[in-house]
Structure 1
Amino acid sequence: MSAPMETARKVADAVLYEGYLLYPYRASAAKNRLRWQFGVLVPPGFTATAEPSASVTECLLEGSANALLRLRLRFLHVRRRRVERAENGGFLPVHELECDARTHLTFDEATEREAEAVLPMPHLLGAERTVVVRVPGDRSEEPILAASGDAIGRVVMEHRPVRAVLRVRAERLPGPYGLLKLRVRLENATEPAWPGAMREEALRDSLVSAHLVIGVTAGAFLSMLDPPEWARRAAEGCRNENTWPVLVGGAGRRDVMLSSPIILYDHPEIAPESPGELFDSTEMDEMLHLRTLTLTEEEKREARATDPRAAEIIQRAGDLPPELVERLHGVIRHLGKPARTPWWDPEAEDEASPDTGSVIVGGVRIARGSRVRLVPGKRRADAHDMFLTGRTAQVEAVLLDLDGGRYLAVTLDDDLGADLHRSHGRFLYFAPDEVEPVAGGETSS
Structure 2
Amino acid sequence: MTTSVLPDEMAARFATARQVADAVLFEGYVLYPYRASAAKNRLRWQFGVLVPPGWGADSAEHSFQRTECLMEPRSGARLSAELRFLRAQRRTVQRVRADGGFETVAELELPDRVLVPWDEGVEERVTAVVDVAALHGEGITVPFSRPAQDETEPVHDADGRLVGRLVRRREEIAGLLRLTATELAGPYAAFRLTATVENTSAWAPDGPADRDAALPRALVASHLLLGLDSGSFLSLTDPPEWARSAVAACRNQHTWPVLAGEPGRTDVLLSSPIILEDHPAIAPESPGALYDALEIDEILALRTAALTDQEKREARGTDARAAEVIDLADSMPPEVLERLHGAVRALREVTGPGPTAPEELTPDVPGLRPETPWWDPESDRSVDPVRDRVTIDGRSVGAGSRVRLRPGARRTDAQDLFLHGRDAQVEAVLHDVDGGVHLAVTVDGDPGADIRRAQGRFLYFQPDEVAPLEDA
Find the residue that maps to 2:198 and give its secondary structure: strand
TM-score by length of 1: 0.81
Q: Per the alignment, do residues 80 and 372 of structure 1 end up closer, same or farther by CA in structure 2, a change over 3 Å counting?
A: closer
Counterpart in the other structure of 1:20: 29
Matches within 5 A, 1:16-415: 16-47=25-56, 49-64=59-74, 66-87=76-97, 88-100=99-111, 102-147=113-158, 149-192=160-203, 194-196=205-207, 197-281=209-293, 283-338=295-350, 341-345=353-357, 368=382, 373-375=389-391, 387-388=425-426, 401=433, 405-406=434-435
What is the alpha-carbon distance in structure 2 between the residues aligned to residue 287 and residue 386 of structure 1? Answer: 30
- Comparing 28-37 with 372-381, greater Cα deviation is found at 372-381
What is the alpha-carbon distance in structure 1 between the residues aligned to residue 367 and residue 139 of structure 2? Answer: 64
Deviations 1:4-52 (CA, angstroms, capped at 9, x unpaired): 3221111100000001011111100000001111100011111173310
Deviations 1:283-335 (CA, angstroms, capped at 9, x unpaired): 41112111212212211111111111101101110111111101001111223
Find the residue that maps to 2:278 and give its secondary structure: coil
Deviations 1:237-271 (CA, angstroms, capped at 9, x unpaired): 11001000000112221100000000001110111
What is the alpha-carbon distance in structure 2 between the residues aligned to residue 232 and residue 83 of structure 1? Answer: 55
TM-score by length of 2: 0.76
Q: Per the alignment, do residues 121 and 28 of structure 1 end up closer, same or farther by CA in structure 2, a change over 3 Å counting?
A: same
- Comparing 193-202 with 295-304, greater Cα deviation is found at 193-202
Find the residue that maps to 1:12 and give its secondary structure: helix
Partner AA of 2:327 in structure 1: Q
Counterpart in the other structure of 1:415: none
Partner AA of 2:350 in structure 1: P
What is the alpha-carbon distance in structure 2 between the residues aligned to residue 291 and residue 42 of structure 1? Answer: 35
Contact map agreement 2:143 2:176 (CA 8 A) in 1: yes
What is the alpha-carbon distance in structure 1 between the residues aligned to residue 60 and residue 365 of structure 2? Answer: 52
Counterpart in the other structure of 1:440: none
- Comparing 344-353 with 200-209, greater Cα deviation is found at 344-353
Find the residue that maps to 1:45 and give its secondary structure: coil
What is the alpha-carbon distance in structure 2 between the residues aligned to residue 203 and residue 188 of structure 1? Answer: 12
Contact map agreement 1:377 1:386 (CA 8 A) in 2: no
Partner AA of 1:9 in structure 2: R
What is the alpha-carbon distance in structure 1 between the residues aligned to residue 82 and residue 244 of structure 2? Answer: 27
Partner AA of 1:373 in structure 2: R
Deviation at 1:129, TM superposition (A): 0.8
What is the alpha-carbon distance in structure 2 between the residues aligned to residue 35 and residue 386 of structure 1? Answer: 27
Contact map agreement 2:95 2:102 (CA 8 A) in 1: yes
Structure 2 unaligned segments of length 5 or more: list them: 1-7, 369-379, 398-404, 408-418, 440-455, 465-472
Deviation at 1:152, TM superposition (A): 2.6
Deviation at 1:374, TM superposition (A): 2.6
Q: Per the alignment, do residues 57 and 5 of structure 1 end up closer, same or farther by CA in structure 2, a change over 3 Å counting?
A: same
Partner AA of 1:81 in structure 2: R
Deviation at 1:201, TM superposition (A): 2.2
Deviation at 1:214, TM superposition (A): 0.2
Q: Per the alignment, do residues 408 and 249 of structure 1 end up closer, same or farther by CA in structure 2, a change over 3 Å counting?
A: closer
What is the alpha-carbon distance in structure 2 between the residues aligned to residue 431 and residue 283 of structure 1? Answer: 21
What is the alpha-carbon distance in structure 2 between the residues aligned to residue 386 and residue 102 of structure 1? Answer: 44
Structure 2 residue 19 is matched with structure 1 residue 10: yes
Deviation at 1:144, TM superposition (A): 2.1
Find the residue that maps to 1:406 and give its secondary structure: coil
Partner AA of 1:374 in structure 2: V
Contact map agreement 2:77 2:228 (CA 8 A) in 1: yes
Larger radius of gyration: 1
Contact map agreement 1:99 1:144 (CA 8 A) in 2: no
What is the alpha-carbon distance in structure 2 between the residues aligned to residue 302 and residue 431 of structure 1? Answer: 39
What is the alpha-carbon distance in structure 1 between the residues aligned to residue 50 and residue 366 of structure 2? Answer: 52
What is the alpha-carbon distance in structure 2 between the residues aligned to residue 173 and residue 303 of structure 1? Answer: 53
Find the residue that maps to 2:118 and give its secondary structure: coil
Contact map agreement 2:437 2:463 (CA 8 A) in 1: no
Contact map agreement 1:72 1:213 (CA 8 A) in 2: yes
Deviation at 1:65, TM superposition (A): 5.3
Deviation at 1:98, TM superposition (A): 1.7
Q: For the aligned residues, what is the CA RMSD?
A: 3.5
Contact map agreement 1:46 1:195 (CA 8 A) in 2: no
Contact map agreement 1:376 1:386 (CA 8 A) in 2: no
Q: Per the alignment, do residues 315 and 203 of structure 1 end up closer, same or farther by CA in structure 2, a change over 3 Å counting?
A: same
Partner AA of 2:225 in structure 1: V
Find the residue that maps to 1:108 and give its secondary structure: strand
